[in-house]
Amino acid sequence: MRMAPRGDRGVTLRSETRRMDFDKNSREARLDGVKHWLSFPVLYFAGQFYVSRMDLAKTIDPVMRPERIPGLKPVHTVVLDPGHGGHDRGAVNRWGSEKNYNLDVSRRIRPLLQEAGLRVIITRSRDQFIPLEQRPAMANKFGDGTIFVSVHFNAAGTRNSLATGFEVFTLTPRGAPNSHDSYLTRRSFSLERGHKNDHASHMLATAIQHAKLGRLPMFDRGVKRARFAVLRGAGVPAVLIEGGFMTHPRDARLMHTVDWRERLAESVASGILEFVKLSKEKARPKMLAQYRAEEQGEIAASGFDYQPLEGIGRLVRPKFAGLSGWRRLLPAPMGEEMPPFRLEYEPAGWVQLELWASAGEDARAAVQHEDSYLSRPREWPDPPPAWPGLRGWRELLPSRWLEETFILFAPPPGAPVDPDAL
């Protein structure tokens, strides 16, 4: 590939059919037109650009040389996982609940894969709750030749958010931070079951992202990394796709349209079938440009060809004449650049950071049934009392409060205790 430096801002590598774009101090890279979030930022030193060995091995190499992915077995089974279900509704907007959209799209994907001769297992075929750990377990029991695809829709923290577009997640490599994190903790170095399929999972995610963006023009949020429970527990190539934002007005209207959900299902199925073809014939999956060339007329006729960011520049320029671009006015999820990266092993308060990270990663579905919430074991048991014979106020509290309380004081022996005052 020929190198084309862009001063000290970045570098582009290209050949007749392939292209890679990197920016200085950024974790964002574009490989063949699709955004990929690197584990570590690209560095610039003494006139040279440097990319981490981990990104070279876990991100760049699988995408640029998919036929050399080690240990890739011919795929014969696909496990589709409609996220959420039952009392776990997922994201909600004025049109409906995420759990219903997940199930509808999965049901549309299934016959398309079955027509291609694949065995398709769906983790839930109705509105029911399935614990997180049971979902990848269904794929694990089929062993080699199986892939796991979890179907979700995204949501931002506020209604009518500007956050929009497609993204797809694979398991974060061992020793790397998640795409949305800028720090390393002890958990970053934990070996998970899904790590043995890092290369294959990333290529599966890439194939699906190319197909989605090529057949449904949307904002590209990229191929990302996270330690979601369904990805950690999968012993087969596994991805989690996000089919747009339920909190974005235009995304929400589109996903409520039957024709759009059908086309999304066809796009996901196309990406899966391209990966299946790679596993059997070592044939490189189709890329974004090929999909766009083949689907140009159909996309134009469908009415789905829109630019999600169109018009933003015209709206802000009259108010901020001296601003170089509208991008600076957008919230963080819409920005191209990640915040400055901090490589901190065991930063201050790392225990709390790990707890927050774990809660955020597993918040897509409840781990336990509602009726077992109050009886769950405590993660951090109380230390043994310093004075075992001392009767404290904790004994007067109902058992269901014990998890949420801590010792503030203990009355002196023989002192009267008023439960109402406590």
Position 211 scores a pLDDT of: 96
Say yes or no: do domains 2-64 and 67-302 share a fold: no
Position 101 scores a pLDDT of: 96
- Tell me which CATH code domain 67-302 carries: 3.40.630.40
Position 22 scores a pLDDT of: 96
Position 351 scores a pLDDT of: 47
The phi, psi pair for 238, rounded to 5°, reads -140, 140
Query: Quick one: average pLDDT of 77-101?
Result: 93
Higher pLDDT, 89 or 323: 89
* 297, two tokens: 């007329």
Position 299 scores a pLDDT of: 76
pTM value?
Answer: 0.75
What does the pLDDT look like over 352-411, one tens digit per residue?
544 554 555 444 333 334 444 334 443 344 445 555 565 555 555 555 544 444 444 445
- The pLDDT-based confidence of 203 (bands split at 50, 70, 90) is very high
What does the pLDDT look like over 151-168, one tens digit per residue?
999 998 776 678 899 999
pLDDT higher than 50, residue 4: yes
Query: Quick one: average pLDDT of 116-142?
Result: 95
- Residue 317 near residue 323, CB atoms below 8 Å: yes
What does the pLDDT look like over 280-325, one tens digit per residue?
999 999 999 999 888 887 777 776 654 544 433 333 333 444 444 4
How far apart (Å, rounded) are the C-alpha atoms in residues 375 and 382? Answer: 16
* 329, two tokens: 């006015």
Domains of the chain, residue spans: 2-64, 67-302, 377-422
Nearest to residue 129, comparing CAs of 372, 296, 420, 317?
372
Higher pLDDT, 111 or 404: 111
Which DSSP string corresponds to 109-127?
HHHHHHHTT-EEEES-SSS
Fold of 2-64: Copper Amine Oxidase; Chain A, domain 1 (3.30.457)
pLDDT higher than 80, residue 255: yes
- The pLDDT-based confidence of 51 (bands split at 50, 70, 90) is very high
Angular region, 71: left φ>0, alpha ψ -120 to 50, beta rest = left
- Counting Cβ atoms within 10 Å, is residue 26 exposed (0-12), middle (13-18) or buried (19+)? middle
